[in-house]
Structure 1
Amino acid sequence: MPWPHQHIIPAQLHLQQLTYYPNISSPKKAQNPPIMAAATTKPLIRFSAVVVAWAHTVCALSAFLAALVIGCVLHYEKIVKNEHFGYPDEWFPSVSATIGDRYPERSIFQIIIALTAGPRFLLLFLSYLRLYRPTGVTSIVSLVTGFIRTVTCGGWVYITSSDDHDAHDIFMISYIVLTIPWTVTVTLLTSDKKLRSKRKYTALVFFGMLVPLVYLFIQHKVHRVAGAYSYYAYVEWSLIFLDIGFDAWTIVDFKDLVIELLGTETGIEFNTVTEKPLEKPQLLKPAFKRNAANQLSYTAIIVNTINSFVFWSVLTALFVCVWFFPLWDMGISGFELVVASVFSPVFLVIPQFRHILGQYPQVSRLVSVWAGIGSYMVAEPSTRLLVISLGAFAGSISLANELWYLPRDLIPGYSATFMVGLLLSTIAKFAFWTNNPVWPILNRDTGGANFGGLLVGTLAALATSIPESHPEKHSRPSQSLVLSSLGFAGLLFSLLAMLTDSSTIILWVWSGYPVTGPIPVPHGVLTMLAMAVGTFIGLLKPRLVAGWKFFSFGAVGAIVLYEFHGWTGYAGGWCYALWLSAISPVIFGNSARFNPGLVFGLGFFWFILIVLAHVWIVAYAFVPMGWLLRERTDIVLGTSVVMIACGFRSAEKYVIPEIEAKSEPKEEAKAALFATFIWKIFNVLTVLVALSCMIAAHRFPFHKPQPYHPEEKLMTCGIWTIHFGLDNDMWASEHRMRDLIKDLELDVVGLLESDTQRILMGNRDLTQRIGEELGMYVDFGPGPNKHTWGCALLSKFPIVNSTHHLLPSPVGELAPAIHATLNVYGEYVDIVVFHSGQEEDVEDRRLQSLGVRDIMGSTDRPTVLLSYLVTEPLQGNYNTYVSEESGMHDIDPSDDDRWCEYILYKKLKRTGYARISRGTITDTELQVGKFQIGSSIDETYSQTEVDEDKVAEGLRFPAIFHGEGVREHHFHVFNRPKYFE
């Protein structure tokens, strides 16, 4: 423990002729050390430390109140005005408008707040002396965070939003974040119970006020409610007064503390003296410590469940954001290295580090929340990724260390809450159309609920506890640590790959129309039911779950899932999901017997390897040695099951005890307590399953889709390569995609690069929100176990039949296609959605062109091809697609500025064609064609164009895309749409 300079006495406590030094474990008689030689000298200055507390409080309040009064007197209507409303709709100024917008209030505020700096730093130092404890690091954390927090306060005070909006926000957010450890540590270090209670409730009210603050800001910013900003200002000013009020409690804390300035032969010494005896400082007990019984309470269940929710949210977000970089680089980018952040448990081999995190589990949990979920506040993609990786680092180390420190008989309960947290995250994705609402690819504009997750996660992190335990005394089994680490890695990977979204298993067995199996809504509820049942069985029947018969049940389920489609394949997937959800007590309980740095460090290493293998099976064309795992989902799935088998083998002699009545009263009490816990878990699971049913009922599409222009019998078709639903700035793009598709009045749209049902893409389904909110039938296309980048079809018209194709690809990436038949105004029309292979694989593209030609030539019905062809117009493979064999014609042969996207058609009357700029949504434009059904067909496929004013209103493209367009989307290349006879 570092001490101040030798001439500064940390705390000289006069206790009945005894002098107590905090770095000595017990009081001793005064030895008159050299630094006390001047103790008998008359003080030059002697005053109560309360003066410092009062000076800080008065200066801080005066600064804000002076600015408020002067601002209201001189510029009232100007400072209450905001971007939407002015007086009298708004009547109370915000803090930022008051202290930063106008002279002279801005200057007066800054002058007075500068006067606060002296008392502030002195207050920090005196609080450190007053609250210091000889054990633990809490005192140091308090001092350091208090100092940095003060500096960040200066940042947002002296750099206003009008000076530099980003810098102001960064300092402000940092200040609020640092308020958490500052208030927590000061409260925990306070020895007086009444004062500690006052500080605690002041802090709780402060953080509680953040909820109405966010709500009112949304009312103002998003819904533009008149007066909302004035109410927001009330809450904002309340936070200022609560913040000052928390520090004002030092007036009470310092009432018996006196500051003396002593003159000596060598100079001046600073001394603090307490004027009444104090009890010997006790060792600080870790924050929120609870006994084992409390770990089985509803409160502990909720806290651990939320912590698990945060863990899964951050882990899945890490991979989604990593994917952004190789996606743009078309290969390994270097940013993939951040996945090694989950390897963090290896640091737990250091006993001191392990001990600190065991004493203060709140620290790593807070870092996980604020770095993982809070990273949405960072706009720049690479920086956001690095912040997220810090959250993943802290989350992984929290899981490992908490399992290590837990008493063995509590691990089954902890494992259950871990699974409940996973179920909660899956339900959240079910409610938000397969996006986790706290992911950092979401924000307020893209449907995120980041701040709510940040607040709830923070409260759970602060309430995290580990019961008193002595893990060093745990027995060490003889089974292999390596086998245990493999089991942990296999389970974690399997849960991540298959159960982080309720639609993943369903899309594995999806084979198109007519529907012969489950669909994501409402049948995603069945997957979540399997997770709930499995979690409950894992607690209720531990002997059954730990046996090899139950293992065989899960392994057979995985085989059936892989081999079959429709309801048969899903039945296997359902059993597999139940099995994975049940076995966490076996895997976790066994792994927790080993040194956490070794077993979990090694476990996360295996986990990273199998995640990379999971990526290699589809990205083989872009990664080194990709051919080794090309299209080998069977190997990856089988390996994960074998890894779990290794965990079972390691735990073979260790079977989680069933809760049975023992002869000893103590054991009977423990059995009864755990039995109660099981039913608490049952109640929580029941509520969550009921919630998922309500969400399914809310999302289920009860209304039949309707085309935009039935009176003209018009079918508007589009093709768009959507780049996996991440825009150019790493934000989810479903909202913006939906809006553009709606504005263009597309009846049929093909989406390419749309399969995001993988770990690296977050196990998402981009078609769900768009399909439901625009009222369209959806064909996801070849499922995630077909190893393609995906193609999808959305249609306002019923999909009568659809067939999924994998075109020949002997060298490069697989080329997916959908051949669907639609009922368009009573007439069958075929739609083919196709994504060709990459440019480098010439033979692949030639073979694929022949395959698609045969698909189009196999039907005599009217047909439209919505495609990504990778060819020059009128050259090479183009003449295979547009040929007598296919019967297809180019929507506009004169458009020579194409390479990727093409629209071809036959036996339809083409009326219009347009190219729409992409904005920042993706890297590819949206091409659109208009066709009339049932009209006479010009067999010569005339290329005669007509002016827009000669085209019927119902056949025209929306006028909003002329000129500069809307939201960066406008007609481009020709700068207008084309219309044909």
Structure 2
Amino acid sequence: MAAPKYKDKDAGVVLAFNGQWISWSHTVIAYTAFLSALIVGCALHYHKIVQNQWYGYPQEWFPSVSATIGDRYPERSFFMLFIAITSGPRFALVGLFYLLTAKPGHALPKWIAGAGLVRTLTCGGWTYVTSTDDHDWHDILMISYIVFTIPWTTGCIALSPPNAKAIKYRKYLAAGFFGTLVPLVYFFIQHKVHRVAGAYTIYAFFEWSLILFDVGFDAVTALDFDTFEIVVRDVKGASKGVNASSVPTAVLEKEKEKATAGVYSARLNFGDALDIAADVYHGFVFWSTLTSLGLVVWYFPLWYMGISGYEALVMTTLGPILLGIKPIRSLVLRKQRATHLLSLAGLVAYLVKDPVLRLFTVGFGVWMSSLAWTATLSSESVHPVRLESRVLAWIVGLLMSSVAKFAWYTNNPIWPIMHAENGGWNGTGLALAVLAVLRFTRKGPLQTDHVAQRSSGSSLLSAISIGGIFFALHSLLSDTSTMILWTWDGYPIRGPVSNVNGWYTIVAMTVGLLLGVYQQDLVTTWTAYGVGCVGAAVLTLYQQWFGYYGALALTVYLMGISVPLISNAAKKSPAFTFGLGFFIYNFLVLFHVWVVAYAFVPGGPYVREHTDWIMIIMMLAIGAGVFDLISQKAKTPSNAKTADRRRPTGHRKYYIGTLGLLNILFLSANFLRFPTNDYKPYHPEDRLFTAGIWTIHFSLDNDMWSSEYRMRDLIKEMEIDVIGLLESDLQRIIMGNRDTTQFLAEDLGMYVDYGPGPDKHTWGAALLSKFPILNSTHHLLPSPVGELAPAIHATLDVYGSLVDVFVFHSGQEEDPEDRRLQSEYLAKLMGSTNRPAILLSYLVTKPLEGNYNTYVSETSGMHDVDPTDWDRWCEYILFKGLRRTGYARVSRDSITDTELQVAKFVVPKKEEQQKVWEMNAKKDKRERRVEEKDVPAGWRFPDLFKGDGVRGHHYHVFDEPRYFNF
């Protein structure tokens, strides 16, 4: 150890050593912990630690970090011993870095030190609580560690003393750490979802690389801590701002600002940060209210089976037209706080039980919300910085809404169709919304009366662009799964998946928004507009990954152009630009529904299946705004452009931080939602599976509440292994851009095929299965007059045997020719397979009559699950090549308008297949019924629903299940 340098003052010091030994000891001991476990594990349990749930040696030949350190003695003990010793230097390292960087009046060092401490504690958490001990807590602590690594890494770069070598190493190691996350996730998906042999070994190399980069990043502090001597004494004066490097301090500061995108270059102000948080949350409330309007409107035509009249409330977005009346405009501009508070009616609506009153409450909230935000933007338009901040709050609020919907399985937790029983956080959301409004409106309005146009150009073009951009943002970006489902085409998976790849949409939204803020000259060009148009065309015309690449390009463009378009509109007459703009938006919303609901609306046949027309009109509307912006740019003097570039941008740093935080929250939810592949049928010992068919009425129950939880409970308690869901496509504005199948599949542990996507213009058909879906194709059956009839043809691996499943929704009663053609098409489709098969369907026919005899025929080879069930009209289950053992009908309570029908089948072993086919062919044997007591216990339906049942669900029509010869 070195002797103290200031001997005249420190003669009494017995021990003194340089601060860099803290860093070196931390580095050596941390690496020893991991490497000792790796060496011991490979020496003693090599084949066991390279084994995973799918493969072992030789396909997998290098162990992952978790397999190495987590489960086996003695390697786990080696790791825990050294990682415990590491904790001392780790805490000391965080403390010394704080002492090195702390300066009076600067809050950032305290925040970074706090992040370092939490990061250290969570590191101990996930290393000592392994996934075997407690999987949930291990994941939570691991995610927390990664989350706090982000501010620690960027903060250390921002606060780095003027040392060129240290800054360089930190940048390289941080880039290596975060760059490794992308291939790490990719190969984990290849292993976990696609079960690629050897993928986990490659994943393991990236996982070990993370360890090397992470520890190496902290090792760089050795280059800074040589300024400390532990007693402690600053021997070089670096903590006082003295530059010991040969590189000029100004150059190093510029390099640090570049490395952190300037986020940390200014002092952090808690009040400013709170302002931005309130603004963004209030923007989130706006989008939550707006996106809920379609849902509560849609409830009524569902029950009226046609135009109900309540659709008129779609026009409640036209609140801004009141700003054209001078006394009202003056009142609203002066009383903005009251207007914004009244807009929260859309959140209060969940307390209103009656559906009609709830609809009107939401409509009032949307009216006030659109009015309040337009008034605020118009008022702030005289101050470019405040205007940009409000516009960013509005758009980042959309991104926050998408993140929240992903975390809640495509439902928004503060929607009026949510409450505590189905996962809603309405009360919490409302309380935060009130606080956000009070903060949002704490600054007085900049303009309270006269509203003059403050920019050249055309108000008409600007209004058209507002309609186009709001429709685009709402219809495509209010949920991360919408465009993914546009490109979905079944199994095997050849494109993105909602619960795995949704973050790509969030990244594209983030990048687009940053371009819209920092590169407005780029996004407001015809070249950028052309890229956006190409993206829209690719999304509309193609599927799989190529189609999604178009979606990402379009996403970047839409988010980027939204900033200048909305800012431009705010500088013009608010009543005209936003009033007319929202009217055009409403037209596109209705058009967006008409292309599917053409059979129920006037003029519907003319727009039937024309999503391409909608996309063209949307992009042309946005193009009108681009033309207006480019025209104004050409007339703007160069000195005005320069002045605009020099305006204060401090608020942007807080928005960048907010975007980073939202991305982290999304990734955290993404990690928790990652597929577990724990798909276990209920009775594998009997080779039994239970199949069901249910028309779920767009996941809105009879009282206008979201019904996923109640559906989940009934499906689980009925022990259903394979189920077809109809009226299940919710990816439209009017249905909230939702996807019920995500929640059901992940909660119940099932594979899911969404069926024909939202760009295929059907009401939806979906398949959920406990068994692997090996292949699926989607069909749109002949429908010359009425609505398109969707069908799924899937092949499942059921206990090692291939079983075909058909899910089908036929046309309406009013279109007999459609239904006849569809019955012929489906009969041939079912007859095309010689494998065991079942049909889960909505046929719109009476038993033993009409088209029934086409579905159940020699052409299809299918048999009715119970021909004596005379009380059917819509739902039917057919089968062939299987041993049918039971059939039941379960009442729906108030979940939907249709019961749940279920049937039980046994998959014959290979040597029994011929016998089963022969038995199916003989009616007297096929239809012979037996008593429940004669059926093995594992083959029986649950007793839970006998008699009065539970929660309004009980066996009905027959009062109890029926069992058949087996």
Q: Taking structure 1 as the reference length, what is the TM-score of the superposition?
A: 0.68
Task: Verify: 1:306 aligned to 2:290, yes or no.
Answer: no
User: Which string of whole-angstrom CA distances, capped at 9 and with x for unpartnered residues, describes residues 170-208 of structure 1?
Assistant: xxxxxxxxxxxxxxxxxxxxxxxxxxxxxxxxxxxxxxx
**Which residue of structure 2 aligns with residue 344 of structure 1?**
319
**Unaligned residue ranges in structure 1 (runs of 5+):** 1-292
Q: Aligned in 2, Cα 1:434/1:659: closer, same or farther, shift over 3 Å?
A: farther
Task: Verify: 1:446 aligned to 2:430, yes or no.
Answer: no
| Whole-Å separation in 2 of the counterparts to 1:872 and 1:460 | 57
**Which residue of structure 1 aligns with residue 932 of structure 2?**
948
- Is the deviation greater in 424-433 or in 676-685? 676-685
Calculate the aligned-residue CA RMSD, in Å: 2.1
User: Which string of whole-angstrom CA distances, capped at 9 and with x for unpartnered residues, describes residues 240-267 of structure 1?
Assistant: xxxxxxxxxxxxxxxxxxxxxxxxxxxx
**Which residue of structure 1 aligns with residue 388 of structure 2?**
412
Match of 2:350 among 371, 376, 390: 376
Q: Which amino acid aligns with 1:552?
A: G
Q: Aligned in 2, Cα 1:294/1:706: closer, same or farther, shift over 3 Å?
A: closer
Q: Aligned in 2, Cα 1:464/1:896: closer, same or farther, shift over 3 Å?
A: same
Pairwise CA distance, 1:593? 2.2
Q: Secondary structure at the match of 2:601?
A: coil
Pairwise mapping of residues 315-354 of structure 1 onto structure 2 (< 5 A)?
315-354=290-329
Q: Which amino acid aligns with 2:900?
A: L
Task: Verify: 1:479 aligned to 2:457, yes or no.
Answer: yes
Q: Secondary structure at the match of 1:651?
A: helix
Q: Secondary structure at the match of 1:822?
A: strand
Task: Verify: 1:758 aligned to 2:732, yes or no.
Answer: yes
Task: Verify: 1:612 aligned to 2:590, yes or no.
Answer: yes
Task: Verify: 1:976 aligned to 2:949, yes or no.
Answer: no
**Which residue of structure 2 aligns with residue 430 of structure 1?**
406
| Whole-Å separation in 2 of the counterparts to 1:898 and 1:298 | 61
Q: Which amino acid aligns with 1:909?
A: R
Pairwise CA distance, 1:854? 1.1
Q: Which amino acid aligns with 1:297?
A: D
**Which residue of structure 1 aligns with residue 769 of structure 2?**
795
Task: Verify: 1:624 aligned to 2:598, yes or no.
Answer: no
Pairwise CA distance, 1:656? 12
**Which residue of structure 2 aligns with residue 550 of structure 1?**
528
| Whole-Å separation in 1 of the counterparts to 2:635 and 2:499 | 39
Q: Taking structure 2 as the reference length, what is the TM-score of the superposition?
A: 0.69
Runs of 4+, deviation exceeding 6 Å: 293-296, 656-664
Pairwise CA distance, 1:655? 4.3
Q: Aligned in 2, Cα 1:324/1:663: closer, same or farther, shift over 3 Å?
A: closer
Contact 1:543 1:658 in 2 (8 A): no
Q: Aligned in 2, Cα 1:835/1:591: closer, same or farther, shift over 3 Å?
A: same
Q: Which amino acid aligns with 2:960?
A: R
Pairwise CA distance, 1:979? 0.4
Task: Verify: 1:885 aligned to 2:859, yes or no.
Answer: yes
Pairwise mapping of residues 253-652 of structure 1 onto structure 2 (< 5 A)?
297-369=272-344, 371-406=345-380, 407-410=382-385, 411-465=387-441, 468-470=445-447, 472=450, 475-652=453-630
Q: Aligned in 2, Cα 1:663/1:547: closer, same or farther, shift over 3 Å?
A: closer
Pairwise CA distance, 1:477? 4.2
**Which residue of structure 1 aligns with residue 4 of structure 2?**
none
Pairwise CA distance, 1:498? 0.4
Contact 1:586 1:656 in 2 (8 A): no
Contact 1:542 1:655 in 2 (8 A): no
Q: Which amino acid aligns with 1:609?
A: F
Q: Secondary structure at the match of 1:619?
A: coil
Q: Which amino acid aligns with 2:514?
A: F
Pairwise CA distance, 1:660? 12
Contact 2:378 2:451 in 1 (8 A): no
**Which residue of structure 1 aligns with residue 943 of structure 2?**
959
| Whole-Å separation in 2 of the counterparts to 1:584 and 1:299 | 24
User: Which string of whole-angstrom CA distances, capped at 9 and with x for unpartnered residues, describes residues 227-252 of structure 1?
Assistant: xxxxxxxxxxxxxxxxxxxxxxxxxx
Q: Aligned in 2, Cα 1:391/1:947: closer, same or farther, shift over 3 Å?
A: same
User: Which string of whole-angstrom CA distances, capped at 9 and with x for unpartnered residues, describes residues 512-569 of structure 1?
Assistant: 0000000001211111111111111111111111111111111111011111111100
| Whole-Å separation in 2 of the counterparts to 1:295 and 1:688 | 19
Contact 1:373 1:438 in 2 (8 A): yes
Q: Which amino acid aligns with 1:627?
A: P
Q: Secondary structure at the match of 1:792?
A: strand
**Unaligned residue ranges in structure 2 (runs of 5+):** 1-267
Pairwise CA distance, 1:452? 0.8
| Whole-Å separation in 1 of the counterparts to 2:445 and 2:287 | 26
- The alignment covers a number of residue pairs equal to 684
Q: Which amino acid aligns with 1:469?
A: L
Pairwise CA distance, 1:435? 0.2
Pairwise CA distance, 1:412? 2.8
| Whole-Å separation in 2 of the counterparts to 1:488 and 1:918 | 43
| Whole-Å separation in 2 of the counterparts to 1:662 and 1:852 | 67
Q: Which amino acid aligns with 2:483?
A: I
Q: Which amino acid aligns with 2:490?
A: G
Contact 1:541 1:658 in 2 (8 A): no
Contact 2:513 2:563 in 1 (8 A): no
Q: Which amino acid aligns with 1:368?
A: S
Q: Secondary structure at the match of 1:745?
A: coil
Q: Which amino acid aligns with 2:746?
A: E
| Whole-Å separation in 1 of the counterparts to 2:451 and 2:787 | 54
Q: Which amino acid aligns with 1:333?
A: S
Q: Which amino acid aligns with 2:285?
A: V
Pairwise CA distance, 1:717? 0.1
Contact 2:691 2:723 in 1 (8 A): yes
Q: Secondary structure at the match of 1:979?
A: strand
- Is the deviation greater in 875-884 or in 696-705? 696-705
Pairwise CA distance, 1:353? 2.0
Pairwise CA distance, 1:610? 1.0
Q: What percent identity do the matched residue pairs reach?
A: 49
Pairwise CA distance, 1:294? 10
Q: Which amino acid aligns with 1:458?
A: V
Pairwise CA distance, 1:703? 3.4
Pairwise mapping of residues 567-966 of structure 1 onto structure 2 (< 5 A)?
567-655=545-633, 671=646, 673-674=648-649, 676-934=650-908, 936=912, 937=916, 938-939=919-920, 940-941=922-923, 942-966=926-950
Pairwise CA distance, 1:408? 4.6
Q: Which amino acid aligns with 2:539?
A: L
User: Which string of whole-angstrom CA distances, capped at 9 and with x for unpartnered residues, describes residues 762-781 of structure 1?
Assistant: 00001011110000000000
Pairwise CA distance, 1:650? 1.9
- Is the deviation greater in 755-764 or in 584-593? 584-593
| Whole-Å separation in 1 of the counterparts to 2:960 and 2:809 | 27
Q: Which amino acid aligns with 2:601?
A: V
| Whole-Å separation in 1 of the counterparts to 2:368 and 2:605 | 35
Q: Aligned in 2, Cα 1:864/1:645: closer, same or farther, shift over 3 Å?
A: same
| Whole-Å separation in 1 of the counterparts to 2:810 and 2:270 | 56
Q: Which amino acid aligns with 2:809?
A: H
Contact 2:696 2:727 in 1 (8 A): yes
User: Which string of whole-angstrom CA distances, capped at 9 and with x for unpartnered residues, describes residues 51-75 of structure 1?
Assistant: xxxxxxxxxxxxxxxxxxxxxxxxx
Q: Aligned in 2, Cα 1:362/1:854: closer, same or farther, shift over 3 Å?
A: same
Please tell me whether Structure 1 or Structure 2 has the larger radius of gyration of its CA atoms: 1
Pairwise CA distance, 1:482? 1.5
| Whole-Å separation in 2 of the counterparts to 1:548 and 1:522 | 34
| Whole-Å separation in 2 of the counterparts to 1:583 and 1:660 | 22
User: Which string of whole-angstrom CA distances, capped at 9 and with x for unpartnered residues, describes residues 623-654 of structure 1?
Assistant: 01101110000001110110011111122233
User: Which string of whole-angstrom CA distances, capped at 9 and with x for unpartnered residues, describes residues 123-161 of structure 1?
Assistant: xxxxxxxxxxxxxxxxxxxxxxxxxxxxxxxxxxxxxxx
- Is the deviation greater in 488-497 or in 458-467? 458-467
- Is the deviation greater in 536-545 or in 612-621? 536-545
